[in-house]
């Protein structure tokens, strides 16, 4: 295969993917089914309806996942070893509160890997035309394809870290509000419903999910345990353990939640000090390697110039 032929194949495949993506975004003109018409009215009591409404957006990555299913099934052990097991990826999606399912996320990784492979193939074809070794295009294709797939996973992990940080910052306020409601004489279920009704933020949304599960027939203790298991946040886990103990054994809860709120604020203060220390060290890098050499150069350049002129 010559370099011109390889470049033509890469450009043709890119054009085909672009046209296919544009065609996939064209809305389907058909009568909506009864299932789709009823689902928006039962979102608060049905998890299946919420998933159905979330799936209605057009996403061409699902088609790629279906087409590549036979190949992906054979390569799934290798993919799981490199990109994480399905359980770990599903837990990340839940902690990030992503609307993607595991299959759609794998399809997204596949698409990003294909895009990276196309970019690597284009660069490799150009390098081959310029006289590079035949191994260079293959190496570029493999590296860029792996980089595209790993980039999707890295962005998901980044979303998880950011959301967990927001939950940690909201935890003291929510705990103090719960303690205030309990001290005023409300029960734990009523206090959680009040937080879900008037609260905003990630943690209030999770509490709203717990309240919805309890309203749909599940016990409040089981709903709280499910929340702690899915989030895997240490502060939330400790609070849930105390709430379940209060529900099952009747132990006092208001003062315990106030103490945990104070502990959460202290932990947030320590994290802020540690982050400030890391930023202070990071600020030394441009100072030492950028500003200081520039200052020394400006200080020594006139002397070198005078010496060269004088001698």
When divided into structural domains, the chain yields a total of 2
Q: Are residues 65 and 173 in the same domain?
A: no
**CB distance 65 to 104 below 8 Å:** yes
- Would you say residue 300 lies in a domain? no
Q: Are residues 98 and 172 in the same domain?
A: no
- Would you say residue 116 lies in a domain? yes
- Would you say residue 285 lies in a domain? no
End-of-domain residue from the set 146, 163, 180: 163
Q: Are residues 9 and 137 in the same domain?
A: yes
Identify the pLDDT of residue 157: 93
* Residue numbers of the domain that contains 133: 3-163
CA 152 to chain centre: 9
Walking along the chain (311 residues) 10 residues at a time, the average pLDDT comes out as: 68 79 67 76 77 61 56 63 79 89 86 88 83 81 88 92 91 90 87 89 90 87 89 88 84 84 87 84 83 84 76 55
- Would you say residue 273 lies in a domain? no
Q: Are residues 29 and 102 in the same domain?
A: yes
Identify the pLDDT of residue 288: 83
Identify the pLDDT of residue 292: 84
Q: Are residues 51 and 142 in the same domain?
A: yes
Query: What is the Cα–Cα distance from 177 to 211, expressed in whole angstroms?
Result: 16
Q: Are residues 261 and 138 in the same domain?
A: no
Contacts of 113 (CB under 8 A, 6+ apart): 145, 146, 148, 149
Identify the pLDDT of residue 74: 64
**CB distance 116 to 149 below 8 Å:** yes
**Buried (b) or exposed (e) across 60-86, using 16+ Cβ within 10 A?**
bbbebbeebeeebeeeeeebeeebbee
Q: Are residues 113 and 220 in the same domain?
A: no
End-of-domain residue from the set 122, 142, 163: 163
Q: Are residues 25 and 135 in the same domain?
A: yes
Task: State the DSSP string of 90-129.
Answer: HHHHHHTT-S--HHHHHHHHHHHHHHHHHHHHHHHHHHHH
- Would you say residue 295 lies in a domain? no
Q: Are residues 8 and 132 in the same domain?
A: yes
Q: Are residues 41 and 141 in the same domain?
A: yes
Which DSSP category does 39 fall into? Answer: G
pTM > 0.85: yes or no: no
Tokens of 96: 């990030």
Q: Are residues 97 and 229 in the same domain?
A: no
């Amino acid at each position: 295969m010559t370099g011109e032929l390889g470049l033509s194949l890469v450009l043709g495949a890119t054009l085909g993917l672009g046209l296919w993506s544009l065609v996939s975004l064209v809305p389907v003109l058909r009568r909506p089914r009864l299932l789709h018409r009823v689902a928006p009215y039962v979102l608060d009591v049905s998890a299946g309806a919420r998933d159905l409404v979330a799936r209605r957006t057009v996403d061409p990555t699902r088609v790629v996942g279906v087409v590549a299913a036979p190949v992906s099934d054979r390569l799934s052990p290798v993919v799981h070893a490199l990109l994480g097991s399905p359980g770990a990826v599903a837990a990340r999606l839940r902690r990030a509160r992503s609307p993607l399912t595991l299959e759609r996320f794998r399809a997204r990784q596949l698409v990003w890997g294909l895009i990276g492979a196309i970019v690597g193939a284009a660069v490799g074809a150009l390098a081959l035309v310029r006289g590079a070794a035949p191994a260079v295009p293959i190496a570029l294709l493999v590296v860029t394809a792996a980089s595209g797939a790993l980039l999707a996973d890295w962005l998901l992990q980044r979303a998880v870290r950011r959301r967990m940080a927001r939950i940690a910052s909201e935890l003291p306020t929510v705990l103090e509000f719960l303690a205030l409601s309990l001290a005023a004489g409300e029960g734990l279920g009523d206090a959680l419903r009040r937080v879900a009704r008037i609260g905003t933020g990630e943690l209030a949304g999770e509490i709203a999910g717990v309240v919805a599960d309890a309203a749909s027939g599940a016990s409040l203790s089981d709903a709280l345990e499910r929340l702690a298991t899915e989030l895997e946040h240490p502060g939330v886990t400790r609070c849930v353990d105390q709430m379940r103990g209060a529900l099952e054994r009747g132990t006092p809860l208001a003062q315990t939640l106030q103490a945990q709120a104070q502990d959460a604020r202290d932990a947030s203060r320590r994290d802020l000090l540690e982050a400030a220390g890391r930023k202070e060290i990071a600020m030394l890098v441009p100072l030492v390697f950028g500003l200081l050499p520039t200052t020394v150069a400006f200080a020594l350049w006139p002397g070198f110039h005078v010496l060269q002129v004088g001698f």
